[in-house]
Amino acid sequence: MASHLPRHVAIIMDGNGRWAGRRDLPRCVGHWEGMNAVREVVEGACAAGVEILTLYAFSTENWRRPPEEIEALMGVLQAFAEKERERLAREGVEVRVLGEIERLDEPSLEAVRRIVATTRGGDRLLLNLMISYGGREEIVGAVRALAAAARAGMVEPGAIDEDAFRGALLTGGIPDPDLLIRTSGEMRISNFMLWQLAYTEFHVTPVLWPDFTREDLFEAILEYQRRERRFGGVAAG
Ligand code: FPP
């Protein structure tokens, strides 16, 4: 693919419920179909040469959904981990799970531990699954950690700068996303990576998540490559 490939692509996977609704199917069928689209984008990201892929799989707000839907989503997560972990490890994909995962039930936590352990050290693609994740909660957690460090005398409050703050986030050490894709046409951030998206290019597509293919990913990357990023400055040359 052409020049300046996005190094880090983040995706808000939206539209599973509508995909199912249009077919008169229960919403959970849309989530199961959504799992296949995850496989598609992992392969697409590897083929394109993307280094980091971050997927918003379950938000802190999603805990407010009906218990049967939460159960279905946890079932999808467990099935994904079981079905994919060996294959992802063979493909060189390292999976990390970021969010308040202590809120997950034990089988889901175990699934998370297994997929993370099996894929550790993969060096082709870093796949971040954001689960029980909220951007505001992440920022509050970082503030708490820095305040505790200051109280313990480990850091001078005046020495807390952007780099220190970045390091205290769940994504500490991972570069910010270059490109954010949101499916199903919604124009919202929905509490996703609020700090990290400061200069990220957005691509919104009407495609519902279960229908999203690697070609849709390539199209988003091509559109990104046609844009000029200025990070608040002026155009070069
Ligand atoms: C939003 O669609 C999607 C979610 C809340 C869950 C995303 C989960 C998956 C794609 C399952 C597979 C993921 C992994 C990593 C195993 P929605 O339900 O809000 O759809 P709607 O807006 O049309 O109702």
The pair of three-digit structure tokens given for residue 229, joined into one six-digit string: 């990023």
Q: Is the pLDDT of residue 2 over 50?
A: no
Q: Whose CA is nearest to atom 1 of ligand 1?
A: 14
Ligand 1 atom at minimal distance to the Cα of residue 15: 23
For residue 74, pLDDT beyond 80: yes
CATH superfamily of 8-133+176-224: Decaprenyl diphosphate synthase-like (3.40.1180.10)
| Amino acid type, 82 | E
The pLDDT value given to residue 159: 95
Structure tokens at 76: 């999808």
pLDDT confidence tier of residue 76, bands split at 50, 70 and 90: very high
Residue 22 has pLDDT above 80, yes or no: yes
Helix, strand, coil percentages (3-state) for the chain, rounded to 5, are: 50, 15, 35
How far from the centroid of its chain's Cα atoms is residue 202's Cα?
A: 14
- The two structure tokens encoding residue 44: 């697409």
What band does 1 get if pLDDT is binned at 50, 70 and 90?
very low
C-alpha of residue 45 to centroid of ligand 1, in Å: 19
The catalytic residues are 14, 62
pLDDT at 236: 63
Instruction: Kindly give the distance from the C-alpha atom of residue 153 to the centroid of ligand 1, in angstroms, as a whole number.
Output: 43
Contacts of 23 (CB under 8 A, 6+ apart): 29
**Is pLDDT of 221 > 50?**
yes
Q: What pLDDT does 232 receive?
A: 78
Whole-structure pTM value: 0.95
62 lines ligand 1 (CB under 6 A): yes
**Which residue type occupies 136?**
R
Q: Is the model's pLDDT at 139 over the cut of 70? A: yes
Q: Where are the domains of the chain?
A: 8-133+176-224
| Whole-number Å distance between alpha carbons of 42 and 87 | 11
Q: How far is the C-alpha of 174 from the C-alpha of 167, rounded, in Å?
A: 9
Q: How far apart are CA 224 and CA 178, in angstroms?
A: 9
Q: What is the CA radius of gyration of the chain?
A: 18
160 alpha carbon to ligand 1 midpoint, in Å? 36
CA dist list (Å): 71 to 14, 66, 80, 142, 173: 18, 9, 14, 29, 32
